[in-house]
Amino acid sequence: MRIRIVDAFTDRPFAGNPAGVLLLDTFPDDGRLQNIALEVNHAETAFAHPLPGGGEADWALRWFTPAVEVAMCGHATLATAHVLHSTGAHRGPVRFATRSGVLVATPGEDGEITLDFPTAPLTPVDVPEGVAEALGAVPLTAFDTGPNIGDLLLEVADERTVHALRPDLEALAAHSERGVIATARAENPALGYDFVSRCFFPNVGIDEDPVTGSAHTALAPYWSERLGRFALTGLQASPRSGRVRTEVRGERTLLAGRAVTVIEGDLLV
């Protein structure tokens, strides 16, 4: 099996979020998929195989962290679409059949890829007891992000607070299904982004995710309502960092970014 490592939501190597990508003829058993994802040891490894023509989707797609299979992943979908287009395995928009329904990735002439994902439903909740101590900052608001994501979305005071977070990950794990998204408004939108975020997912084996496409299906509607604009750019302020362009279209959210293949080789077992 051919395996590639792709940095997603970036236009340069060694930034953004790395994902493993394997294009297969069919899916092997789940245990083998999980073992491969553990060996790759990135936040996500994507496995895809072509589907018969004439259906609602072109490729089947699944995502695994080193610990579990997940219901939705943005950066590994972007990475898979990048591999399909850069290798000529697929031309034009590609429809992926996933656990979150059919997701479409459309390449642009400039190399950017736009993902069409379901908008996360946001439900306001009380700030859970103990979450401020676990996060290391006092949240201003708290929202549940629905079943596809399973995160707790927390707005904090300002951008500097987001950058300075050093959470207690073991304590944080008790407060959501997947993890916690911490966010704040950008201090200087002239720098090219409207909001910042960081994502901590200890429940799925990821202490901090570098750039999380799925989280932006919640961040985009949250900040679009507050800033009064449908089209925004988010900066995920992890050490690797990356930017996600977003556009809310009702029940769907568009996520746009670039990707770079950095490693290509053969899986020998």
3-state secondary structure of 37: helix
Q: Pull the structure tokens for residue 112.
A: 């950017």
The whole-angstrom separation of Cα 219 and Cα 149 is: 12
* Candidate list 39, 44, 56, 109, residue with the active-site label: 44
- Lookup: tokens for 86: 């850069």
219-241 tens-digit pLDDT: 999 999 999 999 999 999 999 99
Which amino acid makes up residue 64?
Answer: F
pTM of the complete model: 0.94
**Three-state secondary-structure class, residue 42:** coil
Q: Which pLDDT does position 109 carry in this prediction?
A: 86
Contacts of 29 (CB under 8 A, 6+ apart): none
**Residue ranges in 138-247 assigned as alpha helix (H):** 159-164, 169-172, 216-227
Query: What integer best gives the mean pLDDT of the chain?
Result: 96
Rounded alpha-carbon distances, angstroms, from residue 46 to 4, 25, 70, 253:
10, 14, 10, 21
Cα distances (angstroms) measured from residue 22 to each of 73, 210, 233: 15, 21, 29
pLDDT of residue 104: 98
Residue 170 among the catalytic residues: no
What is the full per-residue pLDDT of the chain (269 aa) written as tens digits?
Answer: 899 999 999 999 999 999 999 999 999 999 999 999 999 999 999 999 999 999 999 999 999 999 999 999 999 999 999 999 999 999 999 999 999 999 999 999 888 999 999 999 999 999 999 999 999 999 999 999 998 899 999 999 999 999 999 999 999 999 988 999 999 999 999 999 999 999 999 999 899 999 999 999 999 999 999 999 999 999 999 999 999 999 999 999 999 999 999 999 999 98
pLDDT computed for residue 148 by the predictor: 86
User: Which amino acid, one-letter code, is at 172?
Assistant: L
